[in-house]
Amino acid sequence: MSELSELYQQVILDHNKKPRNFRKLEHANHSAEGYNPLCGDQLTVYLELENDSVKDVSFEGSGCAISKAAASMMTQAVKGKTKPQVEQLFQEFHTMVTGDPEEEIESNQLGHLKIFAGVREFPVRVKCATLSWHTMHAALNNQEIVSTE
């Protein structure tokens, strides 16, 4: 179960069970819906942007443990960041989960999000980990609906 424990670490299981910022954001001025038609995963990301910075962020929806934990930890990671910083983090996260499993992860920005590095071993689960990020990107750029297909 070595690879398994790498994917389903306690932190991920905890965020799955008790997702943070899991609510509708009343003062949101940006939002987007994300779908993963393959799994039926569906979530909405709400953003309150002020001077191009994320003042507050939340999400709602349903999905697997990986997608829920990724969304939960994403909201924690992007709060307080500027739009370019969020986009940069998305790029680094995406590179990490789609990268070669043998390669070292270079980014220093990812912090706790490095826990998702295990997803690289499970190509079919990459979309689960990135759905919330794609949806965040869409919300930042005023797209309303994003699909990972």
Partner 1 sequence: MLAEAKSAESTQAPGTTWDVERIRADFPVLHQTVNGKPLVYLDNAASSQVPQVVIERGSMYLEQEHSNIHRGVHYLSQKATTAYEGARETVKRFINARESKECIFVRGATEGINLVMHGYGRKFVSAGDEIIISAMEHHANIVPWQMLCEEKGAKLRVIPMNDAGELLLDEYEGLLNERTRLVAVNHVSNALGTINPIKAMIESAHKYGVPVLIDGAQGAPHIIVDVQDLDCDFYAFSGHKMYAPTGSGVVFGKARWLEEMNPFQGGGDMIKSVTFEKTTLADLPNKFEAGTPAIASQIGLGAAIDYLNSIGREQAARYEHELLRYATERLSGIEGVRIIGTAREKASVLSFVIDEIHPHDIGTILDQEGIAVRAGHHCAQPVMQRFNVPATARASFAFYNTRQEVDVLASTIEKVIEIFS
Cβ contact 6:121 at 8 Å? yes
| Euclidean distance between CA atoms 65 and 12, whole angstroms | 7
Stretch that binds partner 1, among 1-9, 19-27, 87-95, 134-142 (CB under 8 A): 1-9
11 binds partner 1 (CB under 8 A): no
Residue 5 beta carbon to partner 1: minimum distance, rounded to whole angstroms: 9
| Euclidean distance between CA atoms 89 and 70, whole angstroms | 13
Among 8, 53, 56, 87, binds partner 1 (CB under 8 A): 8
Stretch that binds partner 1, among 64-72, 84-92, 103-111, 134-142 (CB under 8 A): 64-72
| Euclidean distance between CA atoms 97 and 119, whole angstroms | 6
What is the b/e burial string over 76-115, where b = at least 16 CB atoms within 10 angstroms of the residue's CB? ebbbebebebbbebbebbbebbeeeeeeeeeeeebeebeb
4 binds partner 1 (CB under 8 A): yes
Among 25, 32, 39, 45, binds partner 1 (CB under 8 A): 39
Cβ contact 116:96 at 8 Å? yes
Among 64, 83, 107, 126, binds partner 1 (CB under 8 A): 64
User: Site residues (CB under 8 A) for partner 1?
Assistant: 1, 3-4, 7-8, 13, 16, 38-42, 62-66, 122, 124-125, 128
